[in-house]
Amino acid sequence: MSATTFTTLVSRWYQENARDLPWRGPDVSPWAILVSEVMLQQTPVVRVVPAWQAWLARWPEPAALAADTPAEAIRMWGRLGYPRRAVRLRECAVAIVQRHGGRVPDRLDQLLALPGIGTYTARAVAAFAYGQRHPVVDTNVRRVVARAVTGEPDAGPVTRPADLVATEELLPAEPAAAALASAAFMELGAVVCTARAPRCDRCPVESVCAWRASGQPAPTGPTRRPQRYAGTDRQVRGLLLGVLREATGPVPRQRLDQVWADDVQRSRALAALVQDGLVEPVDDSSFRLTGDTPLPTP
């Protein structure tokens, strides 16, 4: 199978079958696309859509978020999970204002230099916001390329430089077509070439897929188990953060002590929130969200 055939088939399928997601609209700003990419990390689309809409309604430009407090970003993040992303997104907005006059930069090196913006997100913004030719490689894309091109059942747990090279070789030379192809590869992996139950009968490259031709061999490595949540420090952090998020002022330690019975685990979770920059002590006996504005004195 040639790279041209593969990319043409997937891009054509995408144009006819892509989900109607709000950040894919023709008039969506680079800032809105950047926000969507940060929110979509390890979070299902169905949960991101309303959060993204609410976020952009409040902070339609980086300058608006940069002028607000980290505490408000954490509150607005709600229960999307991994709330450190909210703080980093605000730090990113501050950097955009200070370094780029409030405009999301279009150069890859400048995007990579922003706080909290890694290899994937920088290339995604460059491609989807500015129509540039960059390999945009996430788990879904790596799986599609591994199966369809090399015949492997998966591509391993982490993105390697070789994954970027392999994906870039599939992109058309013309930047706009390459950006479309990048979105198409990702969509195919998200809705058809899934990890557990691939829908090969609906795949546009089924007839030329190397994995399909080789009999769809199963992965040979260890099975990746779903992460447990109940009873973990992550759950305790979420419970503590929920109390602080809903508070209108500093929260006494005694109130936080009611969240979780295990003193050692609760203290460890609270310390982690402080270390991550999500929570700060007000004094020896109370805490608040980082940067929370004190209530005015009556």
pLDDT tens, per residue, the chain with 298 residues: 577 889 999 999 999 999 999 999 989 999 999 999 999 999 999 999 999 999 999 999 999 999 999 999 999 999 999 999 999 999 999 999 999 999 999 999 999 999 999 999 999 999 999 999 999 999 999 999 999 999 998 887 788 889 999 999 999 999 999 999 999 999 999 999 999 899 999 999 999 999 999 999 888 765 566 668 888 999 999 999 999 999 988 999 999 999 999 999 999 999 999 999 999 999 989 999 999 976 544 4
CA-to-CA separations, 147 to 21, 120, 150, 169, 278, in angstroms, rounded: 26, 20, 6, 15, 40
In terms of Cα–Cα distance, which of 35, 105, 21 is closest to 65? 35
What is the token pair recorded at 249?
């002022």
CA distance 255 to 240: 10
Dmax of the chain from CA atoms?
74
Q: Coil, strand, or helix at residue 251?
A: strand
pTM: 0.92
What confidence score (pLDDT) does residue 228 get?
Answer: 81
Paired tokens of 26: 């023709």
**Tokens 């608040």 identify what position?**
288
Q: Is the dihedral of CA 165, 127, 117, 191 positive or negative?
A: negative
**Is the Cβ–Cβ distance between 62 and 86 less than 8 Å?**
no
Kindly report the number of other CB atoms within 10 A of residue 82's CB atom. Answer: 14
Task: Provide the pLDDT for residue 223.
Answer: 59
- Catalytic residue numbers read 37
Q: Helix axis angle, 175-191 relative to 119-130, nearest 10°?
A: 120
Residue bearing tokens 């940060």: 38
Burial pattern 48-75, b for ≥16 Cβ within 10 A else e, equals beebbeebbeebebbbebbebebbbbbb
